Amino acid sequence: MSLRTLESAILAEAKQVVNKKLRLKDIVEWSTGKIKPQEGEKIYRLPDIGVNIVVKEINNAKTN
């Protein structure tokens, strides 16, 4: 399996778990092990693939 194929599979499952509008560039990090998120990031577990992903949280508040 190529890296591109793996990333496509991760993105497909992440869209089901996180958000259908998720893009590959929204995924900050992925790992089969433990991940420690930074401030403003959230971890999601993709059970079918067995991967943890980190996604930046979106702040919907408008700033002036």
- pLDDT score for 57: 82
User: What does pTM read for this prediction?
Assistant: 0.81
- pLDDT score for 64: 39
* pLDDT tens per residue across all 64 residues of the chain: 899 999 999 999 999 999 899 999 999 999 999 999 999 999 999 999 999 999 988 754 444 3
Torsion of CA 19, 26, 47, 15, to 10 degrees: 30
In degrees and rounded to multiples of 5, residue 55 shows phi and psi of -125, 135
- pLDDT score for 59: 54
Where do the domains of the chain lie?
3-56
- What are the tokens at 50? 């067995």
Query: How does the average pLDDT of the chain come out, rounded?
Result: 88
d(CA 17, CA 30): 14
